[in-house]
Amino acid sequence: MVIPYIAVCSSTWEKSISRKWLVFTIYKILTDIISSSLLLSAITFSEHRGFANLSRVDPAKISCTRIQPYFHYLRGGGQIVFTTVIVVDECRLIEPAPIGNARPVKSISGGIFEGEYERFTGAVGMIIGSDLFAAQFAMDILSFQTALFSERGQGMCFICS
C-alpha cells in the first residue's frame, strides 16, 4: 500500500541529485528495514489522546491565541504533541550543536514526505490565522529544536490563498 504513495513522491523529488538519493533511501528503508504497517500508520496517523499529526489533523480543532501561544485543542487541554515522519538530514540530540557563543541547542532536521509538507504548512497557517509566517523551513527540510530559533537562518513560508 505504501509503494504507490512513494511513487507519487518521486515524481517531484527527482529534480536533483539529492532528491534522487532521498527517494532511493526511502525505497531502501521501505523494502529492507521498516515495517511497512508501522510506517504507513505513522504517516496516516491523525490524532490519538494528546498526540496529533499536523499534516492530517483537522486544523479547525486546534487553536493558538495570544494568551495561550502554544497549539492546543479548542475543546481544552494542554499542549498538543505533534508527530511528523521525517527522513533525517542531521541529528544533534545527544551531542548538541554549539552555535557561536550562544548556548548549545539540541536539534534534528529532516525532509517531510511530499504531500505531507503542503498539508503541514497549510495547517500551521490556518491555525495561526496568517498566510505568511516564519518557521524553521528550508525547502522541504524542517528543523526541530529545544529552543527558539534565532533570526539568522530562519526560513519564510508563503501560502498562496
Smallest distance from the beta carbon of 55 to other proteins, in angstroms?
12
Instruction: State the greatest distance between any 2 C-alpha atoms of the chain, in Å, as a whole number.
Output: 48
Q: How far apart are CA 17 and CA 22, in angstroms?
A: 9
Binding of other proteins at residue 35 (CB under 8 A)? yes
Smallest distance from the beta carbon of 11 to other proteins, in angstroms?
20
Positions 49 through 108 that interact with other proteins (CB under 8 A):
49, 51, 54, 64, 69-71, 79-96, 103-104, 106-108
Secondary structure, 3-state, 29-46: HHHHHCCHHHHHHHHCCC
Smallest distance from the beta carbon of 145 to other proteins, in angstroms?
6
CA distances from 41 to 37, 56, 64 (A): 6, 12, 27
Query: Which residue from 12, 18, 146, 158 is in contact with other proteins, where contact means CB under 8 A?
Result: 146
Binding of other proteins at residue 141 (CB under 8 A)? no
Cα dihedral value 53, 57, 60, 63, nearest 10:
-20
Cell reading at 49: 489522546
Interacting residue ranges for other proteins, rule: CB under 8 A:
25-26, 28-29, 32-35, 37-39, 41-42, 45, 48-49, 51, 54, 64, 69-71, 79-96, 103-104, 106-108, 110, 124, 128, 130, 132-136, 142-149, 151, 154
